[in-house]
Chain A
Amino acid sequence: MASYNLDVYMPVLILMALACITVFGALFIGMFLRPSNPTELKQTPYECGEEPIGSAWSNFNVRFYVVALIFIIFDVESALMFPVASVFKKFVDLGMGGAVLGSFLLFIGILAGGIVYCWKKGDLDWVRSYQVSETVKKED
């Protein structure tokens, strides 16, 4: 039975290999079927008919990064919660549900406190609220 152990992952590998084969195969076959006339106009990036000015990356807003940071924290939290959630039922059947529920709620509560903190401090706003108030001050 030990050989069954890892045969489980065969479809995963086969599917990934199939994805690579599909993409490269279709592009390879297409190489013979499709035209190839690179002109100057085709090589420039699309800018609704105008000439693109400057590089593509102007100003990066830190809000994307903040979202990614908060996401990572919650991702790790959910990774820790998955094993606890899957054995929760067993503990309830054994009768120790109260203690497990308590620890589970404590875990979630601490992280809910974190998200409340971020909310109150304005980290979750897409446009920071004091930017708005700063422009108001400038108009004075």
Chain B
Amino acid sequence: MFGSTLFIISALLTLGGAFMVVASKNLVHACVFLLASLFGVAGLYATLGADFLAAIQLVVYAGGVVILMLFAIMLTGGSQDLSNKYGLNKIPGMGSVRTYIAGGLSALVISLVVLKILANVIKSAQVGELPEFTTTVEKIGTMLLTDHILAFEISSILLLGALIGAAVISRPRKG
């Protein structure tokens, strides 16, 4: 019973945060709502039993990426612009209100059809009860060291590339 409560809270947090990110006019507010949304995603991971993933989501996303985004907003002066100077319909490429209504209705119809198809698929593959509270960390660690050792090492090279790229980009231009 608590599982469904946790799920509902996490889902509300994710969806509400995501909606407010799009709807808020202030960029820094949008970042804070993004933080709430990422918290909700961590809760969703926890509902699925992926405890390690939920904790890493908190550490890397909520604790790192959001701060990075806030610093980036400071760097580019996005916090000064407090109002949405461009209405959506003033930019020609964004279409008009009619476009959005037609697009939204068609998305609704298509998703209903797809879900009807998927429901038949899902009904046949019943998911049983979640197993005992197992540690996903050890499984991930074992797999990282045995099956996916190459991915493990390549990810370090990927991170090295990201580090060097970030350092190069953020250096001031000469002259």
Contacts and interface: CB of A to CB of B under 8 A. Distances in A.
- By size class, the interface of chain B is 35 or more
Interface stretch (A18-26, A28-36, A38-46, A116-124): A116-124
Given A83-B144, A100-B145, A103-B145, A3 B1 contact: yes
B107 interface: no
A70 interface: yes
B42 to A, nearest CB: 10
A71 interface: yes
Given A75-B59, A90-B138, A114-B163, A80 B155 contact: yes
A70 B56 CA distance: 18
A7 B49 CA distance: 11
B160 A113 contact: yes
Contact of A7 (B2, B131, B149, B160): B2
B60 A76 contact: yes
Interface of A: 1-10, 13, 55, 57, 60, 62, 64-66, 68-73, 75-77, 79-80, 82-87, 90-91, 100, 103, 106-107, 110-111, 113-115, 117-118, 121, 123, 128
Nearest to B140: A83
Nearest to B76: A60
Interface string B53-82: 000100110011101100110110101100
A123 B167 contact: yes
B120 interface: no
Contacts of B71: 64-65, 68
Contact of B133 (A8, A57, A62, A75): A8
B115 interface: no
B67 A68 contact: yes
15 contacts: A1-B133, A3-B1, A3-B2, A9-B6, A13-B6, A60-B77, A65-B72, A66-B166, A69-B68, A72-B60, A80-B144, A83-B52, A87-B138, A87-B141, A111-B159
A10 B43 CA distance: 11
